Amino acid sequence: MTRAARGLAALAVAGLLGRGAWSAVTEPQVFVAFLGDSGSGDTAQKAVARQLDRLRDRLRFAFLLGDNVYYEGRPSRFDEAFLRVYSTLLRDPRGIEFHAALGNHDVKGCRVLTEDELPAPGLDGLPDDHRAYAWDERDCHVESHLREKAFGYVGGKRYYRVSVTAGAGGDGLADVFVLDSNTLSVKDRAFPTRSDGTQTAWLRRELARSSAPWRIVILHHPMQTPVAKGYLGIGGHGPERKLEEELLPILREGRVDAVFAGHNHFYARLRPQYGIRHFVSGGGGIPVYGFKRGSAPVESGGGFHHFVSVRLTPSRFEFCTVDRVGSVRDAGFWDKQGASGDLRHVPSRSLPACSPWNGRPSQPPGLSSRTPTATATNTTH
């Protein structure tokens, strides 16, 4: 047999083996990205966006974890800090959906209504839209945020649910619950108010209704986070204990799998708490800082610009944290069937969520070849 013939034979065998492995698995999948504190409009945000763009042909959802427009959320900066930076993703004909959570800088000039100011007499709690806020002594731009279609505030609501599906009419792979933590029990809010019971009641109700394999909550303020180092008076933020007291029972009862927050300008992945994995992802563009080791049950993290790429299948939650220069900083997966805390780390090159940064094909043998083409987004209030 000539060398060429031997080569052809080897290729044929390899192809057959590959096809077998490929077709054996039919799990649907969807790629989702999470990034927070992005709205600087500067070089770092554009560098992160450039890395995110490398996921464009697979990405279907991008969730912004708040502080989407620094410093005071002005609509005059929407273009510079959001629309232009992600323009290739926003214009992609395959339809990449952005969905945002409100951060404290997005409502910088706002205050929350007092009891006496509630728009509807007898309304038990804050409205779920911009009417929850009023102008402070400065301009309040929350209405502009909620009405900007590209931000994806579904129905113009402050909090909403997004059903993440793999393909048109496909089964839902995840429900993502987007919260407005500014009106919850966070300690750094500029507007003293009672807790937003309407929002927490909505979350409890929606979680109970969810039948998706994965349940993810995103919000701006982190319940679990390490404490920032505080260089040059840049203090960062500690964990929001009262917020945790308020939400944790609901999240446990609703069997939430993961919580993504921002607010602190670094990346941190913490050990699971009551089966819930906490990610702090506040390095989407604004200057970053590090955190003190040992100040929280941190499994991985650091002060670098980044976003988190996530691939979901009905049985697997796979994540890949990528920095602004395209280095994979953290990666792993856990299975739905696995015990709590059963996180597995494998070389990032074997994870499809990391594939654009490894120069590897997006669909290694053994994974679904189904391409998610459309997604359904629902909201129920």
CB of 370 to other proteins, least distance (A): 26
The answer to the question of residue 286 lying near other proteins (CB under 8 A) is: yes
CB of 335 to other proteins, least distance (A): 28
Confirm if 298 and 150 have CB atoms less than 8 A apart: no
Residues 317-376 that bind other proteins (CB under 8 A): 323-328, 357
CB of 72 to other proteins, least distance (A): 5
Residues 299-328 that bind other proteins (CB under 8 A): 302-305, 323-328
The answer to the question of residue 229 lying near other proteins (CB under 8 A) is: yes
Tell me which stretch binds other proteins (CB under 8 A): 8-16, 142-150, 154-162, 225-233.
Answer: 225-233
Nearer CB in complex with other proteins: 316/324: 324
Confirm if 2 and 30 have CB atoms less than 8 A apart: no
- Respond yes or no on whether the N-terminal peptide bond of residue 231 is cis (omega within 30° of 0): no
Q: Select from 368, 318, 362 the least CA-distant residue to 338.
A: 318
The answer to the question of residue 298 lying near other proteins (CB under 8 A) is: no
Cα maximum dimension of the chain: 90
Q: Which of 156, 238, 287, 338: binder of other proteins (CB under 8 A)?
A: 287
Which residues, 6+ apart, have CB-to-CB distance to 244 below 8 Å? Answer: 223, 224
DSSP single-letter state for residue 293: T
Confirm if 333 and 321 have CB atoms less than 8 A apart: no
The 10 Å Cβ neighbour count of residue 177 is: 24
CB of 232 to other proteins, least distance (A): 6
The answer to the question of residue 49 lying near other proteins (CB under 8 A) is: yes
Continuous H helices in 104-240:
142-147, 197-209
CB of 287 to other proteins, least distance (A): 4
CB of 20 to other proteins, least distance (A): 29
Strand 298-302 to strand 133-135: parallel, antiparallel, or no bridges (unpaired)? unpaired
The answer to the question of residue 231 lying near other proteins (CB under 8 A) is: yes
Nearer CB in complex with other proteins: 40/375: 40
The answer to the question of residue 77 lying near other proteins (CB under 8 A) is: yes
Confirm if 59 and 307 have CB atoms less than 8 A apart: no
CB of 349 to other proteins, least distance (A): 12
Q: Select from 17, 122, 48 the least CA-distant residue to 282.
A: 48
The answer to the question of residue 139 lying near other proteins (CB under 8 A) is: no
Nearer CB in complex with other proteins: 68/200: 68
Confirm if 103 and 80 have CB atoms less than 8 A apart: no
Q: Select from 49, 145, 27 the least CA-distant residue to 96.
A: 49
The answer to the question of residue 290 lying near other proteins (CB under 8 A) is: yes
The answer to the question of residue 135 lying near other proteins (CB under 8 A) is: no
CA atoms within 13 A on the CB side of 252: 10
CB of 42 to other proteins, least distance (A): 5
> DSSP letters along 28-43, please?
--EEEEEE-S-TT-SH
Nearer CB in complex with other proteins: 236/372: 236
> What is d(CA 4, CA 266) in angstroms, rounded to the nearest whole number?
53
> What is d(CA 104, CA 368) in angstroms, rounded to the nearest whole number?
40
CB of 298 to other proteins, least distance (A): 16
Q: Which of 63, 289, 307, 333: binder of other proteins (CB under 8 A)?
A: 289
Residues forming the site for other proteins (CB under 8 A): 40-44, 46-47, 49-50, 54, 70-72, 74, 77, 229, 231-232, 234, 286-290, 302-305, 323-328, 357
